[in-house]
Amino acid sequence: MKGKIGLEEHFSITDTLGDSQQYFTPDKWPEFKYRLLDIHERRLAEMDENEIEFAVISLNSPAIQAILNPQQAIDMAKRANDFLAEQIAKQPKRFAGFAALPMQNPDAAIAELQRTVKDYGFKGALVNGFTQLDVDDSSVYYDLPQYEPFWAEMEKLDLPFYMHPRSPLPSQRRIYEGHRWLIGAAWGFGVETATHSLRLMGSGLFDKYPKLKIILGHLGEMLPNSIWRTSHRISIAPRGVKSQKPFYYYLQNNFYVTTSGNFHLPTMLAAMLEMGSDRVLFSTDYPFEQMSEASTWFDAAEISDIEREKIGRLNAKKLFKLDFLD
């Protein structure tokens, strides 16, 4: 399919590059290091080869969210966003950006979001899960009261918030002991991000800010498959849940999912059935996944051409107001 738009496509600056090294064996790291740092050579060539017209690019993980000192997080976020804006300016018809945000300080996160939208035309924010603050063994989640002004600003700006995974902290990994292969993208990423999303739902956030738009990668981090049971059990035993509507309502009305790194037709069909095809969007998860694999699978997926055009292009064009794309 021509003209696809990708939404979970990562880059790195030299300061955050080391965060991604853990995911690769030493023999493969030099190639992926190059791919993370490159924007205008191999990346663009592969986009052309796979008929991906446009990409909204975001910083690698966990990056800003793993910086303990709030001022250092603020400075690093600005540095990454300024660098990304410089790269986008060289190819504005091929790239846009998600802001990296210093969630250690909600006021600073708001200011950086506003700055990148106003000065650079960024299309929203991508945040790498929970934020650490002051000490290593800390995890701050965004259903907490101090983030309400941030969510109010996200709704006011009418911009999407992409909740990207990160691994659970070492103190939270007892179930993975002896099975390190479960910690990252194979399993732990999805569990961590889905649970964070359920916290947002249960906090009543979407009742206060009903126009919020949250994006999840990997076809929803397993939520489309499990949301009915979660809603059902909570309706029987709420146990302090503050939300006014069933959780599946929020998934269907406040969330979007992308195909990043989950190139499996039954899983995509499940998301389409639960949420509607208007809320499913194409993505690759480059460079951690291959554009060729994502595109070959999607272009041949057994869905209608109308749905393929919506998921591959039109939904993103509408959500991100990409009217300049023909």
The amino acid at 126 = L
Q: Which residues are catalytic?
A: 285
The span from the first CA to the last CA of the chain, in angstroms, equals: 15
SS (H, E, C) the chain: CCCEEEEEEEECCCCCCHHHHCCCCCCCHHHHHHHHHCCCCHHHHHHHHCCEEEEEEEECCCHHHHCCCHHHHHHHHHHHHHHHHHHHHHCCCCEEECECCCCCCHHHHHHHHHHHHHHHCCCCEEECCCEEECEEEEEECCCCHHHHHHHHHHHHHCCEEEECCCCCCHHHCHHHCCCHHHCCCCCHHHHHHHHHHHHHHHCCHHHHCCCCEEEECCCCCCHHHHHHHHHHHHHHCCCCCCCCCCHHHHHHHHEEEECCCCCCHHHHHHHHHHHCHHHEECCCCCCCCCHHHHHHHHHHCCCCHHHHHHHHHHHHHHHCCCCCCC
Q: Which residues pair with 161 in a beta bridge?
A: 125, 214
Rounded Cα gap, residues 74 and 7, in angstroms? 24
